[in-house]
Structures are given as structure tokens and as C-alpha cells.
Amino acid sequence: MALYKLLSGVTVMILLTSNGCHADDPGSHPSCGQELPGQDLDDHLPWQVVIQMEKDRCLGNLISPYFVLTDGNCGFRPEHVFLGRKNETTDHYEDSKSVANVTCDLRSKITREGICLLQLSHPVNFTDTIYPICIASPSSQFDSTLDSWVTTGYPDHAREQVPFVGNNECDCFLRKRPMDMVCAGYKEEHMERMDNCLGNVGGALMAKSDGQYWSIIGVVNVDPTCPPTRSLRGYTNVTSHADWIGHVTGIDQINFTPFVLFGSDTDSEFECSTTPYPTKHPNPQTPDPSLCLNSWSDDCREDFESVFANGVAMQSSPFILLCILVLSFYSMNW
């Protein structure tokens, strides 16, 4: 077993050591996003990193020795990234790097919708538990037949399978869907309440290109409604930012893996149902705080469907204010 791990580590380092995450032979296949023999991605994702910010934590995705891709909100004063497995005994990760620079491509500077690239102070040494994920190329096409997975932020349950949802069907759910957003998840579960409460912000919506190279196709963004991991929701579309990513990082194009449609696009003729998707979350449930990755979860543990959120108190507040005004008026004349 020890010899196997040593050989696996040496093999990955030979394959991945370069400016991007590819072999030196320009005609070779991408070596990023490969699933090693005997590896359990349900337990650990080699490209997943934990980003330590000034007050919060986020997830990120290693895409080269020097760069981590994450959500726009996770680019606010990041300090360190932690890579590899976490030792539960010592509470330490296998490796860590400080953040030297942050570059973002944002749709809104106020809400920080978009993505950020964290440039690390020193290059990452790739091992069999730490190596990068590939990136979906700008020309990629997806439809509802794609098998996609989302990182959860949970220990020992690193990913959850969620079906990809085509853009036409996505538009029925997100009526004002931005162009750089894709959908994935289960439509019948989108009314459920939160389960990891923003603990996977910055993580990856990912799929296999050519059936063998794990590639990031979307980034988990901040959704204040805290939808479940499995529910239908929007993700920042990486292909919309792929050219920008290549320009900033200088990653070789071989690591931008294409997704190609085989046959007709099942989403092209999709029509919205006359019954709109519900927008509220009935029967709220409080998540287990120990599962939350960052301190945003403190806000999420609040009952979003409380009397102040569902409109009951808001409807009665004008009456209360009127009563106070009348009492104040009479008190002045007593």
C-alpha cells in the first residue's frame, strides 16, 4: 500500500508539474481532473481548497499551481488557502499557501456576483491528494442529459450528484437569469429548506469531459435563501469567464476541456409550465451548525420564514404605528 501511494504521488507530480496543469508534450491529454485508481471522490476532492478570509471561510478550486478559482464574495480579503486532507487529530491540512493577489470578474461590485482568481504566494506541489481540476472551455455546450455534481462542504461527503438543467428550463425557474448563470438540481426539492447553509460557497459544479476529465462548469454563489445542495439553483457559468481565466492565469488551452452535445438538445424545445415554481420555503428546518463551513451560517440559522419575513408583522405594522401616533396626539392635549 505504501509503495502504491508513493508511485501514485510520483506519477501525478510528473504529469502535473508545469505552468498550467498539463504535461510538457503539447500533444498530450490534460492531466488535470483525472481520477486516480482506487480514489474515492465522495470522501475527498483533490482540487478543493478552503479559503480563510478575514472573518469567514469559503471553498475554492485549484486550477493551476498558482491559482484558485472561487466565487466573487470569497475574493474579499482572503488570507490563506488550505489544501489536501484535513487531519482531524491535529486540525491541520496537508498544505497551506498565503494569497498574494486577487483578480475578479464581477457582474456587480455591490453584490460581488461573479468569480475571483486567487494568486498564491508560492506554487503548489501536486500529490495524489492535491491537484487541479480542469476548466470547461468557452465553446462547451451542455444540456439536461449531463451528469453533474456539486461540492457540499461536508466532511466525508465531498460531493452530491445534481442533474444539469438546460437554459430554457432554467429560465422558467430564474425568470431574470443572468447570461453567466447555469442551473442544476432537483426541481421537486427546490421548496425544501437549507441543509449546509452556504457552507459550499465558492465550490464547484463539475462534470466529466470525455468521460474521464473532471472539469468545473459552474461556481457555487451566495444565495441568501440557503437552498439545499440538491435543490434547483443557479451557478455562475465558468464557460462565460473561461477566456478571462485563461488571460489572467496563462493556463494552457489543453486544460480547457470541451463538452460536446451528441444528438439533439433536449432543452431546445422546453416550454415553461403554466404553474409557476413556488418561491417560498415552507416548513423551515434549522440545519446542524456543525455542518456549516463559514460564519455566514449564523445568519442562515435565523428563521427566514419568521413572522417578520412572511409579511404578517409587516402588514400589521402600519396599524400599530397609527395607534402610536393617535395616542401621542391625545397625550399632547391632556
Indicate whether 10 pLDDT > 50: no
**Confidence at 315, pLDDT banded by 50, 70, 90:** very low
Count structural domains, the chain.
Answer: 1
Q: Is residue 326 part of a domain?
A: no
> What residue type is 208 in one-letter code?
K
Q: Is residue 37 part of a domain?
A: yes
Q: Is residue 302 part of a domain?
A: no
- pLDDT at residue 197, rounded to an integer: 63
Q: Is residue 277 part of a domain?
A: no
Provide the grid cell at 52: 480563510
Exposed/middle/buried for residue 292 (C-beta within 10 Å: 0-12, 13-18, 19+):
buried
Query: Which range marks the domain in which residue 233 is found?
Result: 2-257
Residue 212 CB partners (closer than 8 Å, separation 6+): 34, 35
- pLDDT at residue 275, rounded to an integer: 62
- pLDDT at residue 78, rounded to an integer: 94
Average pLDDT over residues 259-264: 78
Q: Is residue 69 part of a domain?
A: yes
- pLDDT at residue 305, rounded to an integer: 31
Q: Is residue 289 part of a domain?
A: no
- pLDDT at residue 211, rounded to an integer: 82
- pLDDT at residue 118, rounded to an integer: 98
**Confidence at 237, pLDDT banded by 50, 70, 90:** very high
Q: Is residue 315 part of a domain?
A: no
pTM for the predicted model, two decimal places: 0.75
Q: What does the DSSP assignment read for 219-274? A: E----TT---TTB-EEEEEGGGGHHHHHHHH---GGGEE-----S--TTTT----S
Q: What CATH number is given to the structural domain containing 92? A: 2.40.10.10
- pLDDT at residue 2, rounded to an integer: 52
Average pLDDT over residues 37-41: 91
- pLDDT at residue 18, rounded to an integer: 41
**Confidence at 236, pLDDT banded by 50, 70, 90:** very high
On whether the CB atoms of residues 255 and 21 are closer than 8 A, the answer is yes
Q: Is residue 62 part of a domain?
A: yes
